[in-house]
Structure 1
């Protein structure tokens, strides 16, 4: 990618957005740093010597005016179920490639629903170009190659790097909707923590609990496997807490209660610092099974989720801006291949057993 190619980083003042902005500048890029906070954006743009723009995504005129000056957007402002529709619509109208770092199922399904519009607009729509869901999507693609007739796919990860405030807010939004799996090609809502199993993610066997991770959407489009579930490593205590949270789901559907929960989370959470990120790698696991009972298992070690998001998002952005890509909705593994994750700093190759 030419370092002079204009692109927009929206949400640059957030935890992950700022990490991406700093790495982009270190690579010789000068993205347009954008967001709603004039003070934070102006300060960061001045420090990094980047152009900037300040606007709310509800201001369609300002949004489209800014997009008309760039070739692509890397959208980093969540919860994406609230912000992605406006940004996606504006990208379709202005013929600007759309990438984001979401892991929210609704956003992937929205992007898939406007595939035809994206094709006519000539743009790439690729949500999930970070930890949500690059590693697991690449593992899913590798397992599909290893077991072409797979009917069931389970994915999971063991990550201990901690949460940013933005990630916590998104988790609260997702909790209000319950968990989700894909059964016979359909998305099915379940209670939180309704599925558990023992899993060796790559650092010893642990309890895994089902979560509404983006792969129940993306892995279906990447592989065509009709039955998909996703797990994260947890403790029995945390799994029990998730089950108790089902009692509060009716309240979480109320906007005022969600905002109160988000406010509380923001006050309590301290995002991981550089040392914590560097010392907490992530282990990714996947299992494919066919109708005959044959099983293939995959494992992958990566850097922590935030560091991986920085490098993966910029790497995929570079691919989109430097070569001709088929327009329309796509997933990370379909766009850049299953080996992409292994090219990122801190990543191993994907190992398939047996």
Structure 2
């Protein structure tokens, strides 16, 4: 019998996908969130227990009988910290589906507290960052003396309202990379190169993806950048767009953009998800100039999040894992992504200097 666990933010786009798949598998998670009008109808339909409470000082009171929380309510930059605090107080393991660098850094900063409380914290058990995190560890295994790491993905998946709002919150903050072990902000649009993610060479732009944080903890490689395909004209546009960051970060502008998302963005339907796999790419180099490249094709961004989150929950509930703060690949190994529905196997390539 599965231990009692809870999905917080169960009525959001991705949270609901996870809740429905869990029920389909015969699991019975507790569904939770702060809006009873959205939560209770879903709980009634799926015949699952519901708990209405905000993420805040009293949240731990609602977790006293819960073994694990899967946190799906963004923006995680605002909600993750309080939920982790509640899990520390309640003694419940914590997982989330974030891709935000600041959230990962906060999660790792709780390592000592997690060990003291006897819980495991693992942020990023969705598309952010399971496939790229597993790719990072795979490359470290193939090239143990790697000094630089590049990771990226290519997908036509579409976007959910929550992800769109997270992107809006990040406007004005620019991009980021890791240099000599330190997180460094860089102007958006300033990083560009050509990459074959798995369906031909394309121009690419650096982005502030979560692996800039997580891959360092997973591999120890000191120099890390993250990439997506982008037309050269749009890279130039992103550079211009980024210069307006101070304006885009204004509360009134943020509110207007989020209201627009509420009215216009619904998230990709099942048909679109089924026809939009993701292509994951990674490259590691050592000081001698030897490069290892790996690629893997996976399910759609959102379907992989469902599969990855539920697989991670199942493994943590049923197995014995160390306490503290970890990445998905640190806990479950580089092969985790290959075992998820819709995933292929890693394809490897070696390039020698000269």
If the length of structure 1 is used for normalisation, what is the TM-score?
0.97
The equivalent of 1:53 in structure 2 is 51
Q: Pick from 7, 12, 16 the counterpart of residue 18 of structure 1.
A: 16
The yes-or-no answer on 1:73 pairing with 2:69 is: yes
The equivalent of 1:43 in structure 2 is 41
SS where residue 297 of structure 2 aligns? strand
SS where residue 202 of structure 2 aligns? strand
**Deviation of the 1:242 alpha carbon:** 1.7
RMSD: 1.1
Answer whether contact 2:171 2:249 (CA < 8 A) is retained.
no
After superposition, give the CA deviation of every residue in 1:269-318 in whole Å (9 maximum; x if it has no partner): 23110000000000000000011111000101000110000000000011
Answer whether contact 2:28 2:48 (CA < 8 A) is retained.
yes
Any runs of at least 4 consecutive aligned residues in structure 1 with deviations exceeding 4 A, and if so which?
Answer: none
Please give the alpha-carbon distance, in whole angstroms, between the structure 1 residues aligned to 2:171 and 2:225: 16
After superposition, give the CA deviation of every residue in 1:62-112 in whole Å (9 maximum; x if it has no partner): x11211121000000011001001001111111100000000000110011
The equivalent of 1:30 in structure 2 is 28
From the superposition, tell whether residues 76 and 216 of structure 1 become closer, same or farther in structure 2 (CA, over 3 Å): same
SS where residue 39 of structure 2 aligns? helix
The equivalent of 1:194 in structure 2 is 190
**Deviation of the 1:225 alpha carbon:** 0.2
Answer whether contact 1:146 1:296 (CA < 8 A) is retained.
yes
SS where residue 150 of structure 1 aligns? coil
**Deviation of the 1:179 alpha carbon:** 0.4
From the superposition, tell whether residues 215 and 340 of structure 1 become closer, same or farther in structure 2 (CA, over 3 Å): same
The equivalent of 2:346 in structure 1 is 350
SS where residue 243 of structure 2 aligns? helix
Please give the alpha-carbon distance, in whole angstroms, between the structure 2 residues aligned to 1:183 and 1:344: 32
Q: Which 5+ residue runs of structure 2 have no aligned equivalent?
A: none
After superposition, give the CA deviation of every residue in 1:235-282 in whole Å (9 maximum; x if it has no partner): 234323322221221123322322222222333323110000000000
The yes-or-no answer on 1:268 pairing with 2:264 is: yes
Q: Which 5+ residue runs of structure 1 have no aligned equivalent?
A: none
Please list, as runs of the form range in 1=range in 2, the aligned pairs for 1:133-172 lying within 5 A after superposition: 133-172=129-168
Answer whether contact 2:172 2:249 (CA < 8 A) is retained.
yes
After superposition, give the CA deviation of every residue in 1:23-45 in whole Å (9 maximum; x if it has no partner): 00011111111112111100000
**Deviation of the 1:174 alpha carbon:** 2.0
If the length of structure 2 is used for normalisation, what is the TM-score?
0.97
Count, aligned residues: 350
